Amino acid sequence: MMLKKTACEMLTVLVIGLIAVFVFPNYVAFYTVISSTIYVSLAILALSLALVWGYGGILCFGQAAFFGLAGYTYAVGAFNFEVTAYAAVIAVIVPVIFSAVLGYFMFYGRLNDVYLGVITLTVTLILFKLANSTAGDIYTIGNARLGGFNGMPGTPLLANPFGNGEPLSPHALFVLATVLLLLSYFGCRWLLSTRFGRVMVAIRENETRAELLGYDSRRYKLIFFCVGAGIAGISGMLFANAVFVSPTMFSLNYTAQILIWVIVGGLGTLMGPVIGCIVLQVITAYLGKTGLIDPSAALGLILIVFVLLVPKGLLPLLTELPDRIRQRKKLLSAEPAASDKGEQQ
Amino acid sequence: MMDQPLLQTRNLSMHFGGVRALDQVDFTLNRGELRCLIGPNGAGKSTFFKCVTGQLTPTHGEIVLNGQQIGGRSSSEIAGRGVGIKTQVPNLFDGLTVYENLWISVRSVTDRRARDQIVVRTMERIGISHLAHLVAGQIAHGQRQFVELAMVIAENPELILFDEPAAGLSSEETEKLAQIILELNRNHALIIVEHDMQFIRMIGNKITVFHQGKILAEDETDAILTNQQVRNVYLGKSPA
Amino acid sequence: MDYIIVLILQVLYSVASLALVCAGLAVVFGMMRVINLAHGEFIMLGGFTTVLSANAGVPLMIAILVIAPLAVGIAGYLIERLVVRHLYGRMVDTMLATWGLSLLLVGLATMVFGNQVAGVAAPFGSVTIGAYGVSLYDVFVIGITIAVLVASYFVLAHTNLGLIARGAMQNPEMASSLGASPARIYSVTFTAGAALSGLAGGILAPLSGVVPTMGAAFVAKAFITVITGGASILTGTITASGILGGISTLTTFAINPVIGDVALLLTAIILLRFLPYGITGRFFRGAN
């Protein structure tokens, strides 16, 4: 049953992905391609939290930290290196190293999930402050000025390292982002199907049991956390190309949004948060344009409503619908009994 | 090497604030031995298990497994050295299927096919094959007990601890459990905490009695059951 | 000599303001195990209440000490009823819901007040110590923090309310069998915590001015301090504020404010690595 659902989801993703790569950009306005690139790169960010929190049970409020670090690393590298592709690779490595150090302190200190949330959040906010305070000429790395509040506009764009050094066109960037999203998604699926991934899910389910069976949960969490940071890093690198790098990448606003995407889409699924991200991006962009209600207020309201009323999120709600209807029919024909377990880890 | 005991505690003490849950316990278990621990509630049996499995760090004293210090090591490390536990309240991965629960438990076998084989064989042995694809959180209590039992067997540790394995089982299930335990004893050393004397008679030959954090007596089953001191403790009188 | 006095005053001031900002959070977290991520917004509301009432002609001290805590207390009471109450015992969900609340409050405040700084002038003027000027308002902040801490200690240790509240925190069932409904205790506690945050916002308003997004600046510091403090509300908050506030001020003096914040965070993370339950606690195992 589970397997069938997963296979179904993977097939759907592949089809939509292929359409997105080969059909979509040829039929929409130039402007739409550019904003779609932003959505896709943020969807990768949503995916990273979906993996770390939804499957690893690690309550990380700091995905934005890795996202921003990757952005800044890419920008600094791109200003300094001839081949911007190197910068892109380093941009993914740096957040992984950062997460390894941070994760060591958190997991080996055996902090519980609430503390993890608070610490990762704090780290992100501190990075936000740090990034904001880098105005002026002292904060220059090689050819790159960090630029404080203004960020780093004019960052050289990613170029095909095997081509003529021309930066990628918006169309090509969109295709790259979509392909990376697909790769990240299938990478996550693969990871979850390995023994490592299964043990991680078991640790999420019952950490004590896993420890008593001989699995060192600290090590598993640390590695999973680093993988999540790497995926967030891919997202940040793309974002740096699609928009530009500024301290807002570390802001509370992004930190909160990532979380909301995951909750709205469905914690414990991979596709849910990706869909949640894209839908909510479209909604906030629309709200921002019309000025009807402050986007932040709208997101806050959505978060409260989901936590109180739809704690499982949209995707599980939709995929369980056929099961529920079937179950109800069965119940109606048989004796009435309680069907809901109402349990949550 | 072979005649050294499997598990030995020396002077093992665990204090919670002013309470001495374990007080200078010297305990020895030989290879392949089956030992029952009894004693009134609060005698220190569970604390003893928690110290041995690394869930608690002893205040004083040593725990030696196969000649190596394990006191205060992490649970996962101790489990890695061959100590498995079946907890009192079945402790499963509730969101996973029974099959996955067992699959996770086979830690030391890396080959995928060999793992699958062990899982299938263990489920057959315990008689839970029909539950394989049910989610662990949704099965009945008695069945959960057997699933956890199967998990520990699949893990295949040298020493298995059982914390009140017969609690909440029907008499039929209890008999089945006794059989499994005797069978397990052929290849594993076992320590079993149990209240059910009926059950202990079915499996036990040597019993250790805990009382107020200390070992009160240690002897063959029949001798313990007629021991006046032990009877007093169970009737609530303090030992002479 | 005068430099030393000023430095000591500065350290005292930053420890006090840190403790002040943490007090409301510490009460709610310590008593109810609720991590209120809208804490910073309660401070923001306190600030706006103070500035608006002062601009409407209310004497500043009354605006700070009476109106701000009162208004935010009422808001806290309503929020407890509408949102927090439904999530007791689910720490993560509470965190998320209060985060939503935080965004909502920031958004609403932006819609009402606009995204600009509003403020009032700090009263009392300043005195000079040797070559340095010291604002008397800073001294006032130190004094009022001490007063708040002493008052909280008195309430917790010597009143019926405090006794019942502490009992409920240890054992909710026992407390309810004694006739104290946990729901009411939680309601009172959350309201009191909100009022304290409102007071903090009122006191800080003349110093930093108020903006809808100001909460973000406090929330991280306050959380890290409360968590580092651990289970014991007062002792924990005071010691953690002392250690973290002290370190951050000294590094601020030596280098700059941003490094001060970084030092605060690093100290906290390292402390928590070795004392996972905070300085005063061995509470709170597992994931609940």
pLDDT band at A240 (very low <50, low <70, confident <90, very high): very high
CA distance B196 to A195: 39
Q: Is residue A233 part of a domain?
A: yes
pLDDT band at A217 (very low <50, low <70, confident <90, very high): very high
The tokens describing C179, both together, are 């006739």
Residue C27's nearest CA partner among C200, C254, C262, C210 is C200
Which residue range forms the structural domain that includes residue B6?
Answer: 1-75+195-240
pLDDT band at C31 (very low <50, low <70, confident <90, very high): confident
Q: Is residue A186 part of a domain?
A: yes
pLDDT of C169 above 70: no
Q: Is residue B129 part of a domain?
A: no
User: Chain A residue closest to C269 (CA)?
Assistant: A105
pLDDT of C287 above 60: no
Chain C residues with CB under 8 Å of A298 CB are 107
Among candidates C92, C97, C273 on the partner chain, residue whose Cβ is nearest the Cβ of A304: C97
Q: Is residue B140 part of a domain?
A: no
| Residue A251, φ and ψ in degrees, nearest 5 | -75, 160
Q: How many CA atoms lie within 13 A of A79 on its CB side?
A: 20
> For position A232, what pLDDT does the model report?
96
Residue A257's nearest CA partner among A231, A234, A239, A280 is A280
- C283, A114 Cβ separation under 8 angstroms: no
Q: Report CB contact under 8 Å: B94, A213.
A: no
Which residue(s) pair with B85 in the sheet?
Answer: B161
The tokens describing B181, both together, are 């335990």
pLDDT band at A296 (very low <50, low <70, confident <90, very high): confident
Average pLDDT on B165-175 reads 84
> For position A345, what pLDDT does the model report?
35
B159-163 and B189-193: which strand pairing? parallel
Averaged pLDDT of chain C: 79
- B106, B154 Cβ separation under 8 angstroms: yes
CA distance C7 to C205: 23
> For position A336, what pLDDT does the model report?
42
* Among the ranges given (B131-135, B236-240, C44-48), the one the predictor scored with the smallest mean pLDDT: B236-240
* Among the ranges given (A95-109, A273-287, B174-188, C229-243), the one the predictor scored with the smallest mean pLDDT: C229-243
pLDDT of A191 above 90: yes
Contact status of C265 with chain A (Cβ, < 8 Å): yes
Average pLDDT on A43-71 reads 94
CA distance B136 to A6: 20
CA distance A197 to C169: 38
ipTM: 0.88
pLDDT band at C10 (very low <50, low <70, confident <90, very high): confident
Which residue(s) pair with B20 in the sheet?
Answer: B15
Q: Rounded to whole angstroms, what are the CA distances from B128 to A202, B101, B149?
A: 20, 12, 11
Q: CB neighbours of C151 closer than 8 A, spacing ≥ 6?
A: none
> For position C186, what pLDDT does the model report?
81
Q: Rounded to whole angstroms, what are the CA distances from C278 to A118, C19, C134, C235, C264?
A: 13, 16, 34, 11, 15
| Residue B72, φ and ψ in degrees, nearest 5 | 85, -5
pLDDT tens, residue by residue, B80-90: 999 999 988 88
Q: Is residue A200 part of a domain?
A: yes
| Residue C88, φ and ψ in degrees, nearest 5 | -60, 140
Residue listed under structure tokens 């608070």:
A118
Which amino acid is located at B205 in the chain? Answer: N
Which amino acid is located at A68 in the chain? Answer: G
pLDDT tens, residue by residue, A128-171: 888 888 877 778 887 778 888 888 888 888 888 787 778 888 88
Averaged pLDDT of chain A: 86
Contact status of A259 with chain C (Cβ, < 8 Å): yes
| Residue A149, φ and ψ in degrees, nearest 5 | -55, -35
Comparison of pLDDT for C20 and A191, the residue scoring more: A191
Chains contacting chain B through 3 or more C-beta pairs under 8 A: A
Q: How many other C-beta atoms are found inside a 10 Å radius of the C-beta of residue C219?
A: 26
Helices of type H across A213-250: 217-242
* Among the ranges given (A89-98, A333-342, C8-17, C46-55), the one the predictor scored with the smallest mean pLDDT: A333-342
Chain B residues with CB under 8 Å of A201 CB are 93, 95-96
Q: Is residue A269 part of a domain?
A: no
Contact status of A217 with chain B (Cβ, < 8 Å): yes
Q: CB neighbours of A241 closer than 8 A, spacing ≥ 6?
A: A74, A155, A157, A158, A168, A173
Q: How many other C-beta atoms are found inside a 10 Å radius of the C-beta of residue B147?
A: 23
Q: How many other C-beta atoms are found inside a 10 Å radius of the C-beta of residue C239?
A: 18
CA distance A67 to B234: 63
Q: Is residue B174 part of a domain?
A: no
The tokens describing A332, both together, are 């109606």
| Residue C118, φ and ψ in degrees, nearest 5 | -115, 155
Q: Which of A308, A312, A344 to mutate to test the interface with C (most CBs of C within 10 A)?
A: A308
Total domains, chain A: 1
Show the 3-state SS of chain B: CCCCCCEEEEEEEEEECCEEEEEEEEEEECCCCEEEEECCCCCCHHHHHHHHCCCCCCCEEEEEECCEECCCCCHHHHHHCCEEEECCCCCCCCCCEHHHHHHHHCCCCCCHHHHHHHHHHHHHHHCCHHHCCCEHHHCCHHHHHHHHHHHHHHHCCCEEEEECCCCCCCHHHHHHHHHHHHHHCCCCEEEEECCCHHHHHHHCCEEEEEECCEEEEEEEHHHHHHCHHHHHHHHCCCCC
| Residue A165, φ and ψ in degrees, nearest 5 | 85, 0
pLDDT band at A290 (very low <50, low <70, confident <90, very high): confident
Q: Is residue A64 part of a domain?
A: yes
> For position B200, what pLDDT does the model report?
86
Which residue range forms the structural domain that includes residue A140?
Answer: 2-252
Average pLDDT on A10-18 reads 85
CA distance A258 to A280: 10
> For position C231, what pLDDT does the model report?
65
Average pLDDT on A182-194 reads 93
Beta-sheet strands, E only, within chain A: 140-141, 144-145
Average pLDDT on A59-80 reads 93
CA distance A94 to A81: 16
Residue listed under structure tokens 């006739």:
C179
pLDDT of C284 above 50: no
Q: Report CB contact under 8 Å: B94, A206.
A: yes
Q: How far is B80 from chain A (nearest CA, A)?
A: 5
**% pLDDT > 70, chain C:** 85
CATH number, position B213: 3.40.50.300
pLDDT of C288 above 50: no
Total-model pTM: 0.84
CA distance A166 to C185: 66
Q: Is residue A294 part of a domain?
A: no
Q: Is residue B126 part of a domain?
A: no
- Helix A295-309 vs helix C91-113: crossing angle, to nearest 10: 150
pLDDT tens, residue by residue, C199-218: 998 888 888 788 888 888 77
Which range scores top for mean pLDDT: A103-107, A187-191, C183-187?
A: A187-191
Q: How far is A330 from chain C (nearest CA, A)?
A: 32
Q: Is residue B83 part of a domain?
A: no
* Among the ranges given (A95-104, B81-90, C126-135, C170-179), the one the predictor scored with the smallest mean pLDDT: C170-179
Q: How far is A224 from chain C (nearest CA, A)?
A: 18
- C175, C36 Cβ separation under 8 angstroms: no
Q: CB neighbours of A111 closer than 8 A, spacing ≥ 6?
A: A119, C272, C276
The tokens describing C46, both together, are 């306190």
Total domains, chain B: 1
Contact status of A135 with chain C (Cβ, < 8 Å): no
Give the number of A-B residue pairs with CB atoms closer than 8 Å. Answer: 70
Q: How far is A105 from chain C (nearest CA, A)?
A: 6
> For position A340, what pLDDT does the model report?
41
Q: Is residue A298 part of a domain?
A: no
Q: Report CB contact under 8 Å: A198, B137.
A: no
> For position A237, what pLDDT does the model report?
94
Average pLDDT on C20-46 reads 85
Q: CB neighbours of C91 closer than 8 A, spacing ≥ 6?
A: A114, C33, C34, C35, C288
Q: Annotate A67-81 with b (16+ C-beta within 10 A) or e (fewer).
A: bbbbbbbbbbbbbeb
Chain A residues with CB under 8 Å of C104 CB are 296-297, 300-301, 304
Q: How far is B76 from chain A (nearest CA, A)?
A: 4
